[in-house]
Structure 1
Amino acid sequence: MPTPPAPSLRFSWPRRLLDAVLYSSVWLSGAAAAQTAYTLHLWPPLDAAGYRLVLLVFAATLLVYNLDAALPFKHRQPAGTSGRKAWQQRHRRGLALMAAGAALVAGGLFLADGWWRYLPKLLPLAALALLYSWPLLRWRGRRRALREVPLLKVFLIAGVWSLVTVGLPALLLHHPLTAVAGLLALRFCLVLALAIVFDIRDVSRDRAAGTHTFPVLLGLRGAKLVALAFLAATLVLGLGWGMPRLGLLLTVLLAATVIVLAHERRDDYFFALLADGVLLVPPILYFLS
């Protein structure tokens, strides 16, 4: 009778697949695409241009995050105990190729659907997304990225995410931003609360680099209180906007659980799978209903 494969071999390929989906930002890009689709479906009917926008957001998110992961200076930093960082260092070339493929897809959709007509409005958004990690701005004798500006990281992330997943659908459908201001604010507060969770993950590295974030300045407890305050604002804005109550309450409850349990020693899957996964909850519940 043949010997069954060892458990470590039998279950290694699902683990490798999960790592690839999470650490190559496919999971996070899917969340951005799902949030965009969710916004578009608030104003039916949705045509082919809307579906192409969802694909554009997926590709652009994949491009930005994999460019960030492939930065040369990040691969000179020790991975330490981070499985995510070690995986990205081993697959730097693959991440760069994914970024190049995503750039081709995003560029093709950008030109095909005439987004170039909105270039003056989109250039600042693209600049913020790219300058977040790329040290292109010279300040006090050396080049710095926007993420190094005290407390700016989480606000920048939340701003870009809300403008992409709410602002772009509004632009496509010719709705003024004032008409979606409540949804913009709701999405901003939710993403900001979750972004603080990732600052908790990176607190030791940020402290060593001199980057002032909420966990660095206020400690673990203070940072969690700030995150929970923005989450409370999400709930209030969602009720005011008229979001489905069950989905809103479940999203806030899951996000609050992640915030309360967050700690820099948590497993990489806690952050990559659960914290990012909260962003998928509202669109999944909406489409299931």
Structure 2
Amino acid sequence: MSPEPLHSSSTAPDAGVVRVPQWRRGLDAVLYSSTWLALAALALTWSTFLFWQVHIPFRLGLMIFTATLFLYNIDSVLPYKHGQPLMLSGRKRWMLEHRRELLALAMVALGVSGTLFFLDGWQHLMLFLGHLAAISMLYSLPVVKVRGQWRALRDLPLLKVFLIAYVWAAVTVWVPALHLNKPLLGPVVGVLFLRRFFFILALAFVFDIRDYTKDLHTGTRTFPGMFGVPATKWIALGALVLAGIVVPAGVGTAEALVLTLPLLAAASTIWYAEETRSDYYFALLTDGVMIFQFLVVYVVKW
């Protein structure tokens, strides 16, 4: 793994401690607290509104941002994750050192998102949004007994990348569609949903590559573990091709060409993904591709 940041209160110059620059501490906090990831969820949701040339409601954007912040941070502080007998990466080490702060952040985010959910009248969609929340919560919690051992949804063979792609596509495409009273099964929404699904699916394979050794040790059967890393990269690139083929209605040829830029950025990220790469490669660069997509859509559609 990449060199891990060492956090120490020692100030002695000869203590043999690597001093972490302030900017890097800040970067670690933004990345490993899932703030950057929550911004990516907000960005993708915003890009959906941009496709339909509608302003994103501030409170809806805030609800998506804080709900994502809650789900990922509550997942990161689960006790079993820190009891796995594996070498901790810099990311995992940071999370372990800041578990209290992450839990507090998750609770604040839950309070904000929950308040907005009820104040803005989303109760009639409790069942729909609830199934997305259930998948997200049960993703890492043991719910199925397999060969005498309790397994989470992510531990079921080859399933976790599809769960990630489905939830992210549903939140960032279907929630805006519901807000605008667009039929979820109509062609306008369906095409954008499929494009988003395949885009997120391709990026999810990158994190399977990152977790290759950990998943082998924990018995999680993923694409890299079953088919190898090179084959997984080709599968991910195939998902990107499908995302490129599915073009939303009303997108002209010139716009379609520009909108391939995020797909090319994702393809580059996939091709050069290796388990030994820095935590920043995955947390900053790969997640950043989603924000890059928003920026491209913003330029094209607004």
TM-score when normalising by structure 2: 0.88
How far off its partner does 1:141 sit? 2.7
* CA–CA separation in structure 1 for the residues paired with 2:161 and 2:223: 9
1:67 alignment counterpart: 74
**Partner residue of 2:45 out of 36, 44, 52:** 36
**Partner residue of 1:155 out of 144, 149, 162:** 162
May I ask how many residue pairs the two structures share in their alignment? 280
How far off its partner does 1:239 sit? 7.0
1:171 alignment counterpart: 178
Question: What SS class does the counterpart of residue 242 from structure 1 fall into?
Answer: coil
Q: Indicate whether 1:208 and 2:187 are aligned.
A: no
Instruction: Return 181-190 or 130-139, whichever deviates more.
Output: 130-139
Q: After superposition, what is the alpha-carbon deviation per residue over 1:158-188, rounded to whole angstroms, capped at 9, x for unaligned? A: 0000000001000111101123101000000
How far off its partner does 1:208 sit? 1.4
* CA–CA separation in structure 2 for the residues paired with 1:161 and 1:275: 15
2:23 alignment counterpart: 14
How far off its partner does 1:80 sit? 1.9
**Partner residue of 2:139 out of 104, 112, 132:** 132
Q: How does 1:118-129 map to 2 (within 5 A)?
A: 118-129=125-136
**Partner residue of 1:219 out of 222, 228, 231:** 228
1:255 alignment counterpart: 266
**Partner residue of 1:181 out of 187, 190, 214:** 190
Q: Indicate whether 1:283 and 2:294 are aligned.
A: yes
Q: How does 1:63-142 map to 2 (within 5 A)?
A: 63-78=70-85, 80=87, 82-142=89-149
Q: After superposition, what is the alpha-carbon deviation per residue over 1:240-288, rounded to whole angstroms, capped at 9, x for unaligned? A: 7727334422111111111110010011000001111001112112324
1:23 alignment counterpart: 32
Structure 1 runs, 4 residues or longer, greater than 6 Å off: none
* CA–CA separation in structure 2 for the residues paired with 1:221 and 1:122: 36
* CA–CA separation in structure 1 for the residues paired with 2:129 and 2:146: 25
How far off its partner does 1:136 sit? 3.2
1:267 alignment counterpart: 278
The code of the aligned residue for 1:210 comes to G
Going from structure 1 to structure 2, the CA distance change for 1:204 and 1:14 (only over 3 Å counts) comes to same
2:206 alignment counterpart: 197
Q: After superposition, what is the alpha-carbon deviation per residue over 1:49-95, rounded to whole angstroms, capped at 9, x for unaligned? A: x2211111101111111011000011122562510010001011111
* CA–CA separation in structure 1 for the residues paired with 2:30 and 2:250: 33
2:242 alignment counterpart: 233
* CA–CA separation in structure 2 for the residues paired with 1:227 and 1:138: 30
Unmatched 5+ residue regions in structure 1? none
Q: After superposition, what is the alpha-carbon deviation per residue over 1:100-143, rounded to whole angstroms, capped at 9, x for unaligned? A: 01100010000011111111222211111111111134444332
How far off its partner does 1:237 sit? 1.1
Instruction: Return 133-142 or 13-22, whichever deviates more.
Output: 133-142
* CA–CA separation in structure 1 for the residues paired with 2:169 and 2:53: 20
1:46 alignment counterpart: 55
Question: What SS class does the counterpart of residue 265 from structure 1 fall into?
Answer: coil
* CA–CA separation in structure 2 for the residues paired with 1:180 and 1:65: 26
Question: What SS class does the counterpart of residue 162 from structure 1 fall into?
Answer: helix
The alignment yields a C-alpha RMSD, in angstroms, of 1.9
Question: What SS class does the counterpart of residue 102 from structure 2 fall into?
Answer: helix
Residues 79, 86 of structure 1: 8 Å contact kept: no
TM-score when normalising by structure 1: 0.92
Question: What SS class does the counterpart of residue 41 from structure 1 fall into?
Answer: helix
Unmatched 5+ residue regions in structure 2? 1-12
Residues 132, 147 of structure 1: 8 Å contact kept: yes
